[in-house]
């Protein structure tokens, strides 16, 4: 049997979980809501198209988060975009690696 002193304290198991909106993570729910609102402004079937695109985008975001999260996004931005807005060179040594990557990649 467990120690009675240990049973008095409730330690939350999911203390570091991201905020949730019902059963979804907040960033995924915000993506669905934003797509729905933006497409519903156009009228007609825009509402349904917005929901469908929002759900697809949220599923893609959740898959991306499961595969590596922020590091995957930063790696994509590093290799497939102009890198200076994402990583400002603080020192001259970093500038050399950025310019070398731009020439090679």
Q: Where are the beta strands (DSSP E) in 15-70?
A: 20-21, 24-25
Q: What is the pLDDT of residue 91?
A: 47
Q: Where are the beta strands (DSSP E) in the chain?
A: 20-21, 24-25
Q: What is the CA radius of gyration of the chain?
A: 22
With H, G, I as helix, E, B as strand and everything else as coil, classify residue 27: helix
Q: Tell me the C-alpha to C-alpha distance, in Å, between residue 6 and each of 14, 15, 44, 46.
A: 19, 19, 59, 55
Q: What is the pLDDT of residue 105?
A: 46
* Local mean pLDDT, 10-residue blocks, the chain (105 residues): 67 77 88 94 91 94 84 79 61 51 51
Q: Tell me the C-alpha to C-alpha distance, in Å, between residue 76 and each of 39, 40, 81, 86, 95.
A: 27, 31, 8, 11, 19
Put simply, whether the predicted model's pTM sits higher than 0.85 gets the answer: no
Q: What is the pLDDT of residue 2?
A: 62
Q: What is the pLDDT of residue 54?
A: 95
Domain locations along the chain: 22-67, 71-105
């Amino acid at each position: 049997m467990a120690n009675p002193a240990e049973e008095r304290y409730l330690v939350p198991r999911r203390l570091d979980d991201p905020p949730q909106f019902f059963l979804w993570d907040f960033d995924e729910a915000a993506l669905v809501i934003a797509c729905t609102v933006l497409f519903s402004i156009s009228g007609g079937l825009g509402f349904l198209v917005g929901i469908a695109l929002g759900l697809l985008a949220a599923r893609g975001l959740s898959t991306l988060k499961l595969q590596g999260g922020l590091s995957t996004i930063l790696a994509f931005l590093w290799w497939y975009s102009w890198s200076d807005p994402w990583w400002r060179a603080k020192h001259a040594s970093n500038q050399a690696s950025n310019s070398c990557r731009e020439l090679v990649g």
